[in-house]
Structure 1
């Protein structure tokens, strides 16, 4: 029987934006270890407080090693903006959505539809902010990947 040797690292990120005393990365790490992931395969990045910093700090970690593929897993609603930010910092990703959000048809207004709309507006504002900052020269310099 043929068995391919695969090596994978899980890099999870997130600081303590909610000021709970424990970073998102620490919480994720404990979940991953509980699921049976080997600790040496888990890489933590606990400084980032937003998507931009996630991409920035993760790119620093990724550039210290050689990886064949970088898979970016996040909400389907959040995936395009995350991919843009990672690309800005020189990280080409394979995007994989963790969920799919869509409005629900209803004769009466639903809180869920308002929430999905709010999330979508937040994502589009992130795109506009990125390109506005780019025009103003406020984004940090690109690192590789399409250096423009």
Structure 2
């Protein structure tokens, strides 16, 4: 928006300062879009909690957060966060006695969504061959706070139980703290990493600017979400932990 507004001002008496703004914004977009900056930026979120996929330990229950499914023209779409569903399927198969809860309604506040993320997850798990009675679907939550409230209500966790929380690594800091704030002590099971984590690849520039800008945009939105939750008292230390990491 800033770039568009400045571009329009090029044809007015404010052309001189507008040229400066256009130049600065263009350079910033070029650097962020092509340089490895956004990879390290998203790692400030992804590196807060370790990857425990190789050794998850004892599992009493699994909670999967929505954000991976949607519908278009009646067809199921599985997005970039589809790793959440794949990881949950693997955990359910390896831990047949564990309870499994999928939490995801619709994030569209201004319009009613006929089919929810839970509906999409049900289709995915059914196609994957997971027994229908293995998963409890929560379809009312619209955000992470409601995920925590409704999931806890369904799970009714007992003292000593070990519940894994499955969501994207960049979303994990806000999710864990929100669940803890809701009185649900969960074990982070981060998936869907957007950075490789190896220095050789982390320092590699992006081939096209939109890829870097999209990653930076995602990380910025999550940091804003963390700040908003922190200001509203929905979370405490995750904001500080991610900032330090």
In the superposition, the TM-score normalised over structure 2's length comes to: 0.48
In structure 1, what is the Cα distance between the partners aligned to 2:178 and 2:134? 24
The answer (yes or no) to whether the contact 2:206–2:212 under 8 Å persists in 1 is no
Determine helix, strand or coil for the equivalent of 1:78.
helix
Ranges in structure 1 where 5+ consecutive residues have no aligned partner = 140-148
> Aligned pairs, how many?
131
In structure 2, what is the Cα distance between the partners aligned to 1:121 and 1:81? 13
The answer (yes or no) to whether the contact 1:86–1:93 under 8 Å persists in 2 is yes
In structure 2, what is the Cα distance between the partners aligned to 1:17 and 1:127? 17
Q: Quick check: 1:62 aligned with 2:171?
A: no
In structure 2, what is the Cα distance between the partners aligned to 1:73 and 1:26? 18
Q: Structure 1 residues 107, 11: CA separation in 2 closer, same or farther (over 3 Å shift)?
A: closer
Q: Quick check: 1:29 aligned with 2:122?
A: yes
Flag the structure with more relative contact order, 1 or 2, with Cα contacts below 8 A and sequence separation at least 6.
Answer: 2
Equivalent runs, 1:2-41 vs 2, <5 Å:
6-18=96-108, 19-41=112-134
The answer (yes or no) to whether the contact 1:71–1:93 under 8 Å persists in 2 is yes
Equivalent runs, 1:57-96 vs 2, <5 Å:
57-63=150-156, 66=158, 68-96=161-189
Deviates more, 1:13-22 or 1:27-36: 13-22
In the superposition, the TM-score normalised over structure 1's length comes to: 0.76
In structure 2, what is the Cα distance between the partners aligned to 1:78 and 1:96? 11
In structure 2, what is the Cα distance between the partners aligned to 1:106 and 1:90? 42
Q: Structure 1 residues 32, 6: CA separation in 2 closer, same or farther (over 3 Å shift)?
A: closer
The answer (yes or no) to whether the contact 2:105–2:142 under 8 Å persists in 1 is yes
In structure 2, what is the Cα distance between the partners aligned to 1:113 and 1:52? 29
More helix by percentage: 2
In structure 2, what is the Cα distance between the partners aligned to 1:37 and 1:62? 19
Deviates more, 1:6-15 or 1:75-84: 6-15
Determine helix, strand or coil for the equivalent of 2:185.
coil
1:47-78 CA distance string (max 9 Å, x none) = 01111111111111122x54822111111111
- Which of 78, 102, 123 is matched with 2:222 structurally? 123
Query: What's the RMSD between the two structures over aligned residues?
Result: 2.5
Deviates more, 1:94-103 or 1:39-48: 94-103
How far the C-alpha of 1:83 sits from its partner, in A, is 0.7
Ranges in structure 2 where 5+ consecutive residues have no aligned partner = 1-94, 196-201, 235-245
